[in-house]
Amino acid sequence: MNPVPPTGGSVLAAAHGPLSLVQDIDWAAIAPPLAVASAALVVLLADLFLSGPRKVWLAWLSLAGLATALGLLLPLRGGGRATFCAPADPATGGPPACSYVVSDLTLVLQLVLIGSAAVVVLLSMPMTAPRPWADESGSDRAVPGGEYHFLLLASVAGAVTLAAARDLVTLVVALETLSLPAFALVGLRRDARGGEAALKYFLLSVAATAVLLFGVSLLYGATGAVHLDRIAAALTTLDPKLDTVAATGAGLVLVGFAFKVAAVPFHFWLPDTYRGAPVPVAAYLSVVSKTAGFAGLLLVAGIGLRPYAHVWGPALAVLAALTMTVGNVVAVRVATGSGDAVRLLAWSSIAQSGYVLVPFGTAAGDGADLADRLPASVAYLAVYAVMNLGAFAVVATVGRDRPTGVVGDYRGLVRVRPWLALAMAFFLLCLAGLPPGLMGLFAKVAVFQSVVAGGTGWLAVVMAVNVVVALYYYLVWTALLFQPPVPGPPPVAGDGEAAGTLGSGGTLRVPAPFAVAIGLAFGLGVVLSVAPQIVLRVLTVPGLLG
Amino acid sequence: MSVVLIVAIVLPLIAGSALIAFPVDDRRARYAGVAVTGAVLGLTVVLAGAFDRDDARTMQFETDRAWASSLGLRFHLGVDGISLPLIVLTALLTFLVAVHSLGKLPDGGSARAYVALVLVLEAGVLGTFAALDLILFFLAFEVVLVPMYFLIARWGTPGERGPAAFKFILYTLLGSALMLLGFLLVQAHTGTFDITELAARGGDGMSRGVQITAFLAIGLGLAVKVPMWPLHTWLPDAHTAAPTGGSVLLAGVLLKMGTYGLVRIAVPALPQGAEEFAPYLGAFGAVGIVYGSLVCLALLRSPDGDLKRIIAYSSVGHMGFALLGIATLTAQGINGALFVNIGHGLITGLLFFLAGAVKERSGTALLGRIGGSLYARAPRLGGLLAFAAVAGLGLPGLAGFWGELLAMYGAYHPADELSRGLFLVLLVAAALGTVLTAAYMLGIVRAVCGGPGLAASGTSETDDVGPMAEGAPLVRVDPLPDVGRVDVVAWAPLVAFTVVLGLWPATLLAVTDPAVRALLGGGA
């Protein structure tokens, strides 16, 4: 039976009776991704008619599309909408299953994804429309604006859809819509470094997709369902002979998503990709793409594979411990070694992924209390988006005038651009989880709370040690901001001669879009530090995971 | 009146943030620092005046609002007889440090930043002493880390400040992360972060195993801060490298956060855990007493002995008395620990001020190079140093005496659950420690203050002992600038309180004792 009361397509539906394949679509529910996708097409077309300085309108169009999508989230506030539903299962008599569900979880994730994408667009403006921001020296190595914004919005559309997807096929399609444009974005600058980064990202990503698809097929074979809630129902009553098949499928699906979120040991693509990509694209990958990956993981593990929590729980716990430990240890080595700013943020973002994975690792034997644990990951993701985007925004700003891109460039930043330095210090301390970065601290407390309440003591201790290790490199960087500039080579070795000259006479331009992006992240960070309940509410929303 | 408490905590935070964010010229920033810390001191004095002494056992000036209800975090502040003296001490010492900063600051950065960091630090410490919610306590505990890191890393002794600052913050953060895990474990089993509520329940709802695990985590975290031997190794480096104001605050108030946390949270909320670990706390405390004084004696004999390092190790010993007092789980012992806190805050604060003055005037804190003869070169400074050293060794009639006496008295009759034999052994060790303490404190006086004021020419500066040194005529050692006007203002209150608390210990004990008994009563 078609669960949606026939209105629009009622003639056909009535004519074909209960077997009708034509169904009504809740357009309001799918409006946000539609708005983003339409904006992508508009940008692609507009690119043909805009030239020269007017290319900047492409970025404004992108922003308008994302703002519309944000606005369209408003009417959905109540949640509880669904569309693309399969009729109730005639065999089991179970409820209808829907492919696209707008729940509280969907809304939170879509809000984070679209908001972060808007900040990325701001960061991309000088790069995609050199005038009026670029100077004669061409420090903004131009990328084609039309293609760039089209690809970016297309990717965002995939991410936004992914957050609402509730069946494996939609999930995979959304994930690919997210990933394919991202490969191109990484290599869009068409230099050797970008090309290598894009190729590496592409090859490993495709391999991961293959693994994911294989897992999906095994799960489908074992359960006969693609909808997450039906898979969950089928797994609880599974023929024991199929248990191994289903468990293998579950494992492979999770590996596919682990690649997306760059969990160790599936992280090898990440540092080189971030380093080779333009900084705004790296910011995009580290926040939007990663949040979408975690959204997929949340949905698949938290809903579809909930009966198998005893299988994937311990595995993800080990993965979380590995991810944060490797991320932090290598980040410390980067900080004491080459001091490359983007590489440092790349490894730090791997470590941060580990913290997001921690609540997954506490999955209890039967998954009964999963719904109390996993929301901590959502809260952490939301906070992480703000602080990581802020840090990337500052790196993008400083990187324009200091192309060496090493941490030593930040020495004495406070003398040149006091507010920029204070904002960077705030973001770094948020990432470290120390006051005054209360936002990051609250997020870490939420994760700690979930893991301690879940009874996985060893993971809590591993994370505690990691937080301390991570403090080292965040603090080295923060301290540099306030150090007086010294003539001569900076203590953090760089390969460039320009390093360390920032405080001694060098100027630093902050283009208006960068200032707005940093101001937004900083303002939001301060608000969330004072009133953390805005984000932490997700911890106590009943039935966040359905 | 609860508004006064909030203002006292938030005012320095806002003022500090404003000083960091907006460019104010250095001279104004220094005066702003004095004005704000003075106002906070005034507010805490108002609180102390309004505090109902007859009801010191209950929380007063309470505020209790939800902050992040999903975490269970509440903005819950209050003051009782245990926290009131520490709050006043913090406000006093910070004010004195701000006054002291009117004088010469070591190179390292603008005075504006220095004052701003001191103000944020003050807010954190006051918040720690007033917090009645475990997470709020943890937050305030963390607030002090970054300012103190920068105080050491920027204004510390060149050459040693970087590693010392890192050691300080990494050790303390590791401790506080463990402490947070302990807090969350407590909450997971009791459903509340409320400190008064947990103290009233006295461990109800937590099995013995949970209490032991939680006490281990919380206790370790606090023990790093105390610092308890053998977790003290960050302290000598941090104290030695820190600028004078930083050392004073570090020793005077930051260390107190550790013992305060044990008394406020760990012992009353986790009585079975406390019972299990009390012998260890006591034993490590006693080892700390003896170890600290032995290291001081060794440093005193070494030509490279650093005056500030000796005082830092003396803190390990003094805080050992506080640990021993807490470990007895008796009212006497815990009152003693609290008295040690206050006495140590006053006396060691003064000692660090004086050591900083000596270092500033003679250019070094190395005993071999200061040149001695302070009595002759700067008689008032020498006299004050002798006074502080004598107070530090626990001379009866001064503030250092009562705390140690009460702690040892508590060890003579520990709580019934504890082995009396063990505590008698610890008592003997602590008594031995007092003798050793007296030895090195007097040794300091002899090395720094004593001497005829005459030396063979050239030996007062060991750098250039030339061939002329042999048989050279005796000359007067260069005099040093004596106590200045700013110094008088900064040091006189410490001297006065040391004498007052030494002569009338009841002024403090009358406030702490009812609260301590209430905590133990709730825990028994």
- The shortest C-alpha distance from A274 to chain B (Å) reads 29
pLDDT of residue B471: 54
Which residues of chain B does A536 touch, with a Cβ-Cβ cutoff of 8 Å? 68, 70-71
Given B23, B166, B180, which is nearest A448 (Cβ)? B180
Q: Is B142 on the interface with A (CB under 8 A)?
A: yes
- Is B184–A461 a contact, with Cβ atoms under 8 angstroms apart? no
Which residues of chain B does A471 touch, with a Cβ-Cβ cutoff of 8 Å? 169-170, 173
Which residues of chain A does B174 touch, with a Cβ-Cβ cutoff of 8 Å? 464-465, 468
Size of interface A-B (CB pairs under 8 A): 98
Q: From A453, which residue of chain B is nearest by alpha-carbon distance?
A: B188
Note down pLDDT in tens along chain B; length 524 residues: 788 999 999 999 999 999 988 888 888 889 999 999 999 999 999 999 998 888 888 888 988 898 988 888 999 999 988 999 999 999 999 999 999 888 877 777 788 889 999 999 999 999 999 999 999 999 999 999 999 999 998 888 888 888 899 889 999 999 999 999 999 999 988 888 999 889 888 888 888 999 999 999 999 999 998 889 888 889 989 988 889 889 999 998 999 999 999 999 999 999 899 999 999 999 999 999 999 999 999 988 887 788 889 999 999 999 999 999 999 999 889 999 999 999 999 999 999 999 888 888 887 777 777 777 778 778 888 888 889 998 988 888 888 888 898 998 888 988 888 888 899 999 999 999 999 999 999 988 888 887 766 655 544 444 444 444 445 566 666 777 777 788 888 889 999 999 998 899 888 888 888 888 888 875 43
Q: Is B67 on the interface with A (CB under 8 A)?
A: yes
Which residues of chain B does A448 touch, with a Cβ-Cβ cutoff of 8 Å? 180-181, 184
A267 within domain boundaries: no
Residue type, B157: T
User: Could you read off the pLDDT of A200-217 as tens digits, one per residue?
Assistant: 999 999 999 999 999 999
A526 within domain boundaries: yes
- Is A472–B166 a contact, with Cβ atoms under 8 angstroms apart? yes
Mean pLDDT, rounded, of chain A: 85
Given A429, A453, A536, which is nearest B146 (Cβ)? A429
- Is A475–B154 a contact, with Cβ atoms under 8 angstroms apart? no
Mean pLDDT on A384-396? 95
- Is B174–A464 a contact, with Cβ atoms under 8 angstroms apart? yes
A371 within domain boundaries: yes
- Is B109–A482 a contact, with Cβ atoms under 8 angstroms apart? yes
A348 within domain boundaries: yes
Given A419, A435, A446, which is nearest B142 (Cβ)? A435
Given B68, B185, B213, which is nearest A442 (Cβ)? B68
Give the three-state DSSP class for A340.
strand
- Is B173–A434 a contact, with Cβ atoms under 8 angstroms apart? yes
- The shortest C-alpha distance from A447 to chain B (Å) reads 10
Q: Which domain holds residue A343?
A: 306-546
Residue A140 gets which letter from DSSP? S
- Is B166–A532 a contact, with Cβ atoms under 8 angstroms apart? no
Q: How confident is the model at residue A492 (pLDDT cuts 50, 70, 90)?
A: very low
Backbone phi, psi, residue A85, to 5°: -95, 140
- Is A471–B21 a contact, with Cβ atoms under 8 angstroms apart? no
Given B173, B181, B187, which is nearest A460 (Cβ)? B181
Report CA dihedral (A154, A160, A163, A165) to the nearest 10 degrees: -60
Those of residues 369-398 in B touching chain A at CB distance below 8 A are: none
Distance of alpha carbon B108 from alpha carbon B91, whole angstroms: 25
Q: From A459, which residue of chain B is nearest by alpha-carbon distance?
A: B181
- The shortest C-alpha distance from B383 to chain A (Å) reads 39
pLDDT of residue A454: 83
Which residues of chain A does B181 touch, with a Cβ-Cβ cutoff of 8 Å? 448, 452, 460-461, 464
Q: Is B180 on the interface with A (CB under 8 A)?
A: yes
Q: Is the pLDDT of residue A6 over 60?
A: no
Report CA dihedral (A139, A143, A145, A147) to the nearest 10 degrees: -170
Q: Which of B287, B231, B275, B227 is nearest to B426 (CA)?
A: B287
User: Could you read off the pLDDT of A409-440 as tens digits, one per residue?
Assistant: 888 888 888 899 999 999 999 999 998 889 99
The domain tally of chain A equals 1
Which tokens belong to A326? 């490797």
Those of residues 101-130 in B touching chain A at CB distance below 8 A are: 109, 113, 124
A134 within domain boundaries: no
Q: How confident is the model at residue A13 (pLDDT cuts 50, 70, 90)?
A: very low
Residue B463 CB contacts under 8 Å (≥ 6 apart), including other chains: none
A61 within domain boundaries: no
Q: Where are the beta strands (DSSP E) in B375-514?
A: 454-456, 474-476
Given A436, A448, A468, which is nearest B174 (Cβ)? A468
The interface pTM score, or ipTM, of the predicted complex is 0.89
Interface test mutation site (partner A, options B114, B134, B173, max chain A beta carbons within 10 A):
B173
A129 within domain boundaries: no
Residue B78 gets which letter from DSSP? E
Which residues of chain B does A527 touch, with a Cβ-Cβ cutoff of 8 Å? none
Distance of alpha carbon A423 from alpha carbon B84, whole angstroms: 36
- Is A533–B23 a contact, with Cβ atoms under 8 angstroms apart? no
Which residues of chain B does A468 touch, with a Cβ-Cβ cutoff of 8 Å? 170, 173-174, 177
DSSP string for A252-274: HHHHHHHHHTT-TTS-THHHHHH
pLDDT of residue A132: 66
Residue B90 CB contacts under 8 Å (≥ 6 apart), including other chains: B44, B122, B125, B126, B129, B252, B253
Which residues of chain B does A422 touch, with a Cβ-Cβ cutoff of 8 Å? 20-21
- Is B178–A464 a contact, with Cβ atoms under 8 angstroms apart? yes
DSSP string for A392-407: HHHHHHHHHH-TT-BG
- The shortest C-alpha distance from B182 to chain A (Å) reads 9
- The shortest C-alpha distance from B188 to chain A (Å) reads 5
Q: Is B69 on the interface with A (CB under 8 A)?
A: yes
Which residues of chain B does A457 touch, with a Cβ-Cβ cutoff of 8 Å? 213
User: Could you read off the pLDDT of A52-107 as tens digits, one per residue?
Assistant: 778 888 999 999 999 999 999 999 988 788 888 887 766 666 678 889 999 999 99
Helices A309-336, A457-482: axis angle to 10 degrees equals 30
CB of A383 closer than 8 Å to CB of B70: no
Match 């997450």 to its residue by tokens: A228
Q: How confident is the model at residue A1 (pLDDT cuts 50, 70, 90)?
A: very low
Lowest mean pLDDT among A20-29, A148-157, A525-534, B507-516: A20-29
Q: Is the pLDDT of residue A500 over 60?
A: no
Given A442, A467, A475, which is nearest B177 (Cβ)? A467
- The shortest C-alpha distance from A314 to chain B (Å) reads 20
Q: Is B146 on the interface with A (CB under 8 A)?
A: yes
pLDDT of residue A21: 60
- The shortest C-alpha distance from B517 to chain A (Å) reads 32
Q: From A468, which residue of chain B is nearest by alpha-carbon distance?
A: B174
A356 within domain boundaries: yes
Judge residue B458's burial from the number of C-beta atoms within 10 Å of its C-beta, 0-12 exposed, 13-18 middle, 19 or more buried: middle
Backbone phi, psi, residue A50, to 5°: -110, 140
From residue A435, give the alpha-carbon distance in Å to each of A429, A462, B122, B217, B250: 7, 21, 14, 21, 18
Given A418, A435, A449, which is nearest B143 (Cβ)? A435
Match 């986790």 to its residue by tokens: B270
Mean pLDDT on A305-319? 88
Which residues of chain A does B150 touch, with a Cβ-Cβ cutoff of 8 Å? 479, 482
Displacement of CA A234 from its chain's centroid (Å): 30
Chain A residues with CB-CB distance to B under 8 A? 418-419, 422, 429, 434-436, 438, 441-442, 445-446, 448-449, 452-453, 457, 460-461, 464-465, 467-468, 471-472, 475, 479, 482, 484, 532-533, 536-540
Q: How confident is the model at residue A285 (pLDDT cuts 50, 70, 90)?
A: very high
pLDDT of residue B456: 54
